[in-house]
A and B are shown apart, each in its own frame.
Chain A
Amino acid sequence: MALDTVASAKSNPDISQPFAELGLKPDEYARIKEILGRRPTSSELAMYSVMWSEHCSYKSSKVHLKQFGDKAVKTDALLVGIGENAGVVDVGQGYAVTFKIESHNHPSFVEPYQGAATGVGGIVRDILTMGARPIAVMDPLRFGPADAPDTRRVLPGIIAGVGGYGNCLGLPNIGGEVVFDETYLGNPLVNALCIGVMKHSDIKLAKAAGAGNLVVLYGAKTGGDGIGGVSVLASETFESTGPAKRPAVQVGDPFVEKVLIECSLEIFAEDLVVGIQDLGGAGLSCATSELASGGSGGMKVELDRVPLRDATLSPEEILMSESQERMCAIVEPSKINRFLEICKKWDVTVTVIGEVTDGDRLEITWHGDLIVDVPPRTVAHEGPVYNRPLAKPDYVDRVNAEVITVKLPESAEEIKAAVLKLAAAPNLADKSWVTDQYDRYVQGNTIQSQPDDSGMVRIDEKTHLGVAVATDANANWSYLNPYEGAKLALAEAARNIATAGAKPLAVTNCLNFGSPEDPGVMWQFAESVRGLADGCLEMGLPVTGGNVSFYNQTGSVAILPTPVIGVLGVIDDVRTRTPMSFDRAGLELYLLGETQNDIAGSEWAYLHGQRGGKAPIADLKREMRLIDLLVTGNKEKLFVAAHDLSQGGLSATLTEMVLRHGIGAEVTLENVGQTLISESPGRVVVAIDPAKSNALKDLAAKENIVMTKIGNTGGDSLIVNGAKIALSELRKAHTETFPKLFG
């Protein structure tokens, strides 16, 4: 194909262009022509098509996501808010922490290992781009039914990919989720979260300011991988894509990324960059237009200078390539020699590809011919915005009206059977088979990881300051009531941090939904965002950023609405954290919070094929009082252990507590079936020394939290109202599920 230059776009205005194949709608194509006053060149068309894709432009979600800003609490803790690569939070002692979660769902379905691996690589670069050293990753994963053949294809590959990439980088994987549900069959969810730490003064932003400054590309060479990955893979469902001209899958190289991290941190330490951006989805198109748009707007790039792995790539392909492990920096001319020196030391390929200009156009040339001449804001930030129609789907009222008829356990035999059944259910069973493939302790700062409520890492080895992060989503509740579902997920993630004694500080989210072109899905999305924004406002937690993943569906069947909420908290001294389980006999067990008849959406109902009913209504005021109680109780050293109740209710919580250290417990519950099975939010089991019971009572009274003594620790079995389950039997049920399923 002949080179399509700006000049030929002017002289040949009427040729037909494949905008539809690139995912652009006719009105979007018309808008590009209007912006440019002519037809776009093929390179410009490539840039607009990737940058205006759902994945990059947030065109369907923007109008709703606005609420995270509008309803935001004013807090001094937030150093960098939404809009940058990742939000940054002040955690005290001069430290700032950045964390973000992103989806890599579609690539992981196509090629599980590489899809998941490059998902980890991408989020790590986002964190690095803020100027932070990445210190830990987490991965909430969702699959089709555990015994489905396709789950056996994708799950091992995805787990190996997450582990392989993270382990090679030397980053501990400190938690996440593994959830199974029919709706994820054919559309697994791979969400990747990364946490990074830096000093306040080290924060870097994505902007290209200062005419004459140089645009520098460094890291891996550019190849033909992942071309169209963003616009095609992430934005439309699989059936509609057809055969790709180039493989839409990227292959990562974690060793290159590790070198890139160290090289970048050395460059940051010497303050050699004005602005920086990683190359992720949409590659150079995204990096150049976002950097230019973040600055004054003007930038000139000589695209033929980009180092290539495959010399046959056309300029359009170079602009769209999603080759991994690349970064783009803006460097003052006086500092470029030192920048090049550091890259040379780390053996990192580096090329000056252009410069910042005092104009307001992004101009890209190919061997001297102008092939792109656009206002960068129109590419990066002023893409189309859709106020898509939304309508409450018919199913909601229908399923809400369903009455759950599942039988709850009453007799000793039924109680024992129920506890064992829940312990072995794939959604609740021991996940060591998964997490043993991840390095959880590398770097030596991991304080907590699976099976704890949250992941916790130490960030200062002298003061023992640490951060804790938990991610949660309850898609069953979101299906019944997306507004409450999002609030409940937020509350659960916050609670999971507070059980250890950490104070929740900030929120990130990864919103996984079906097609935004379906008004019902759009309603689920809008309700979830509204719920999360209201919840964050009520709890006083800022949303620091996030990611939206649409088009998660197989045919016309969308996944359950799955807003994954991540909450980050801080703990002054990790040595004083409250563990999730007790290590000795003779302690008293208390249930904090009230148990209602919340069987709808529970794991027990799901195991019995019932998905209807009403989700609980979140009481965030009470959640905040419970969090206060947990954090204060930790400071006052009241607790030997504290463990959250969520999926699987009290049954799952007790199972996990007794198995952790092999210390049994005997509990006596009123209304035993409901108390054991219900998943009412806002509940925690704590173990305390009997001498502390009055102090706990006082604290619970002060925070107005209902507290019930349920039993004592000790023995080699879990005894619930006389139903005795030997720990060995319980452990067998809990641990054999995954090895049996996945070998």
Chain B
Amino acid sequence: MGKIVVEVMLKPEILDPQGTAVSAALPRLGFNFAKSVRQGKRFEIEVEGEPTPAQLAEVEKAAEKLLANPVIETYVVKAEK
């Protein structure tokens, strides 16, 4: 079984309220390593067998139309073992 992963992040210049909240909460809990945090989302799509280039291209289209909002988000599509 192969897996195609789509990672979606808000574009760097777009405000990320969730990331900001996490970033503010970390030091309150004693974690002082973070300069900033941005939060995104990850889709794992299972396919039969190794992902084919054609499937990756299809997922790319789906990411553009549904999984990500290209106005404010960027995405990366990759095959994973």
Query: Which residues of A pack against B, CB within 8 Å?
Result: 110-111, 114, 220, 223-225, 246-247, 249-253, 255-256, 309-310, 323-324
How far, in Å, is B9 (CB) from chain A's closest CB? 13
Q: Are A111 and B69 in contact (CB under 8 A)?
A: yes
The answer, among B11, B16, B17, B20, for a CB contact under 8 Å with A247, is: B11
CB-nearest residue of chain A relative to B20?
A253
Q: Which of B10, B12, B16, B72 has the most CB of A within 10 A?
A: B72
Q: Are A255 and B17 in contact (CB under 8 A)?
A: yes
Q: Are A249 and B15 in contact (CB under 8 A)?
A: no
CB-nearest residue of chain B relative to A224?
B13
Q: Are A253 and B13 in contact (CB under 8 A)?
A: no
How far, in Å, is B21 (CB) from chain A's closest CB? 8
CB-nearest residue of chain A relative to B16?
A251
List 29 interface pairs A-B (beta carbons < 8 Å), by A numbering. Answer: A110-B71, A111-B71, A111-B72, A114-B72, A220-B15, A223-B13, A223-B14, A225-B13, A225-B14, A246-B13, A247-B11, A247-B13, A247-B14, A247-B71, A250-B15, A251-B10, A251-B14, A251-B15, A251-B16, A251-B72, A252-B15, A253-B15, A253-B17, A253-B20, A309-B15, A310-B12, A310-B13, A323-B15, A324-B15
Extra pairs beyond A247-B13, A253-B17 (4, CB < 8 Å): A223-B14, A224-B12, A249-B72, A324-B15
Residue count of chain B within 8 Å CB distance of chain A: 12
Q: Which chain A residues border B10 with CB–CB below 8 Å? A: 251
Q: Which chain B residues border A111 with CB–CB below 8 Å? A: 69, 71-72
How far, in Å, is B53 (CB) from chain A's closest CB? 28
CB-nearest residue of chain B relative to A157?
B69
How far, in Å, is A611 (CB) from chain B's closest CB? 34
Q: Which of B11, B15, B69 has the most CB of A within 10 A?
A: B15
Residue-wise interface mask of B (61-76) relative to A, using a CB-CB cutoff of 8 A (1 in contact, 0 not): 0000000010110000
8 closest A-B pairs by beta carbon, nearest first, are A224-B13, A253-B17, A251-B15, A111-B71, A251-B14, A310-B13, A249-B71, A223-B13
CB-nearest residue of chain A relative to B73?
A247
A224 to B20: give the CA distance in the assembly, Å.
Answer: 16
Q: Which chain A residues border B15 with CB–CB below 8 Å? A: 220, 223, 225, 250-253, 309, 323-324
CB-nearest residue of chain A relative to B21?
A255
How far, in Å, is A725 (CB) from chain B's closest CB? 42
A324 to B17: give the CA distance in the assembly, Å.
Answer: 12
How far, in Å, is A253 (CB) from chain B's closest CB? 4
How far, in Å, is A81 (CB) from chain B's closest CB? 35
Query: Which residues of B pack against A, CB within 8 Å?
Result: 10-17, 20, 69, 71-72
A249 to B12: give the CA distance in the assembly, Å.
Answer: 13
Q: Which chain B residues border A309 with CB–CB below 8 Å? A: 15
A253 to B72: give the CA distance in the assembly, Å.
Answer: 14
Q: Which chain A residues border B71 with CB–CB below 8 Å? A: 110-111, 247, 249
Q: Which chain B residues border A250 with CB–CB below 8 Å? A: 15
CB-nearest residue of chain B relative to A254?
B17
CB-nearest residue of chain A relative to B18?
A253
A220 to B24: give the CA distance in the assembly, Å.
Answer: 14
Q: Which chain B residues border A225 with CB–CB below 8 Å? A: 13-15
Q: Which of B12, B14, B17 has the most CB of A within 10 A?
A: B14
A395 to B34: give the CA distance in the assembly, Å.
Answer: 63
Q: Which of A111, A250, A309 has the most CB of B within 10 A?
A: A309
How far, in Å, is B8 (CB) from chain A's closest CB? 14
CB-nearest residue of chain B relative to A111?
B71
Q: Which chain A residues border B14 with CB–CB below 8 Å? A: 223, 225, 247, 249, 251
How far, in Å, is A347 (CB) from chain B's closest CB? 8
A252 to B72: give the CA distance in the assembly, Å.
Answer: 12
A518 to B71: give the CA distance in the assembly, Å.
Answer: 30
How far, in Å, is A397 (CB) from chain B's closest CB? 43
How far, in Å, is B48 (CB) from chain A's closest CB? 31
How far, in Å, is A107 (CB) from chain B's closest CB? 10
A111 to B16: give the CA distance in the assembly, Å.
Answer: 16
CB-nearest residue of chain B relative to A256?
B17
Q: Which chain B residues border A255 with CB–CB below 8 Å? A: 17
A310 to B10: give the CA distance in the assembly, Å.
Answer: 13
Q: Which chain B residues border A252 with CB–CB below 8 Å? A: 15
A225 to B14: give the CA distance in the assembly, Å.
Answer: 6
Q: Which chain B residues border A220 with CB–CB below 8 Å? A: 15
A323 to B12: give the CA distance in the assembly, Å.
Answer: 13
CB-nearest residue of chain A relative to B17?
A253
CB-nearest residue of chain A relative to B12?
A310
How far, in Å, is B60 (CB) from chain A's closest CB? 20
How far, in Å, is B68 (CB) from chain A's closest CB? 13
How far, in Å, is B47 (CB) from chain A's closest CB? 28
How far, in Å, is A160 (CB) from chain B's closest CB? 13
A103 to B30: give the CA distance in the assembly, Å.
Answer: 45
Q: Which chain B residues border A247 with CB–CB below 8 Å? A: 11, 13-14, 71-72
Q: Which chain A residues border B17 with CB–CB below 8 Å? A: 251, 253, 255-256
How far, in Å, is B11 (CB) from chain A's closest CB? 6
CB-nearest residue of chain A relative to B14?
A251
